[in-house]
Structure 1
Amino acid sequence: MRQVLQIKYLGLPLVIGRSKRQMFEFIRQKATARLTGWKEKLLSQAGKEVLLKSVVMALPTYVMSCCLLPQTLCRDICSEMARFWWGQKKDGQRIHWLRWGKLTEVKSDRGLGFRELSEFNLALLAKQLWRLLTRPNLLVSKIMKARYFKGMSIWDTNAANGDSWCWKSFLSAKQLLE
């Protein structure tokens, strides 16, 4: 795979090209690096849960509140988390006693409360879109309105070819907000 020089500002790539997977690959690499350091240590299930929820799931939160991550990237991060959850050693056998979907259910429904990253990504984007709608006096709201939906409702707006990836990401959460 060709290595692309990424210039970042506030943790986000400044230029987002065609390959979103390649642009946001640094998130999966960071998550894997955090898990790799703890793989050989003997952690209890409670320790693993705390590590996954407070460290690994918190890593992509800022990026996910601004940009829609590719589904494959979210699945890969979740599979890394599942491998860490069920396995101890690098080369050891891992039996997944429950599917990841069951682990992402809330604890009252006998799940473990892990987040499904793609759904969490859409929820964070919907929150940003809601903020644009309910706080029109914010500078970011004024800029977005002037640039992307001047003189019309946000509900009537569709993504155009020249729009930024952040704006297209916000619009992807429009259906959830409706």
Structure 2
Amino acid sequence: MASILHCQVGSTPFSYLGLPIGMMIYTWHLVIEKVKKRLSRWKCTTLSFGGRIGLLNSVLHSIPIYFLSFLKAPKGIISSIESLFKSFLWGGDQDNKKINWVAWDVVCRDKNHSGLGIKYLLAFNLALLGKWRWRMLVEKNSLWMRVISSLYGITLHLSNESGVKDSRWWVDLNRIEDGDLMSNKWLSNNCCKVIGNGVDNKFWLDK
């Protein structure tokens, strides 16, 4: 096919729309390296605590957003990225470790609840993927959704049922509210369906 189309034969991993394709671990290691590279340019000792919080919220959290918007990050990767964030927040670096004076879940609380307003990456990742899940529910008659449904057999019901095949990404999107990706069914518990003509609803299962 390459000789017929006069194109090069590629290999994995390769980049598509800014995302490395073919090796998931490589993808996340790339994100971690980007964070480390940015941190290496800053001197924690010359920044105030408030300055570190500002840079953490405005710069460091923006680095993985594009990846978190499309991919479900493994918990180990989330832990590695947050470890870098913690070290930077408390004034440490790769050579000098600092004590984490406050638990990270407290730091990630909203300021109105005695936190620092720093994003909790696991919930942030699920929220970004949840936006895709929401689009799947409200744009079910759009062309892109019909194509995806025909390719992967996606079911749009909020119940715990999935016919998705072959695609890890669409499987994760379809399972967001199933309880596997979070401790409770946070999406389906906050959504309801309008009966309409009843064609798109499972009477005994849908809310």
TM-score (norm 1): 0.83
> Superposition RMSD on alpha carbons, in Å?
2.3
Cα pair 1:66 1:169 within 8 Å, conserved:
no
Question: Is the 1:126–1:173 contact (alpha carbons within 8 Å) kept by the matching residues of 2?
Answer: yes
Distance 1:77 1:153 in 2: 32
**Unaligned regions of 5+ residues in structure 2, if any?**
1-10, 179-185, 189-207
Question: Hey, what does 1:70 align to over in structure 2?
Answer: 74
How far, CA to CA, are the matches of 2:69 and 2:35 in structure 1?
17
TM-score, normalised relative to structure 2:
0.73
More moved, 101-110 vs 30-39: 30-39
The size of the alignment, in residue pairs, is: 170
Give CA-to-partner distance per residue, 1:1-49, whole Å, 9 cap, x none: xxx9631112212224xxx333321111111111121135611122211
- Secondary structure class of the residue paired with 1:170: helix
- Closer/same/farther in 2, CA of residues 9 and 58 from structure 1, 3 Å limit: same
Q: 1:49 aligns with which of 53, 56, 60?
A: 53
- Seen in structure 2, the aligned counterparts of structure 1 residues 5 and 146 have a Cα distance that, compared at 3 Å, is closer
User: Alpha carbons of 1:139 and 1:51: their partners in 2 closer, same or farther (altered >3 Å)?
Assistant: farther
Identity %: 31
- Going from structure 1 to structure 2, the CA distance change for 1:153 and 1:170 (only over 3 Å counts) comes to closer
Give the deviation of 1:177 after TM superposition.
1.9
Q: Structure 1 regions of 5+ residues with no counterpart?
A: none
- Computing the radius of gyration from Cα coordinates, the structure with the larger value is 2
Q: CA deviation at 1:67?
A: 1.0
SS at match of 1:37: coil
- Which residue of structure 2 aligns with residue 60 of structure 1? 64
Shift of 1:90: 4.7
Instruction: Give 1:96's aligned amino acid.
Output: N
Residue aligned with 1:52, SS: helix
* Amino acid aligned to 1:25: H
More helix per residue: 1 or 2?
A: 1
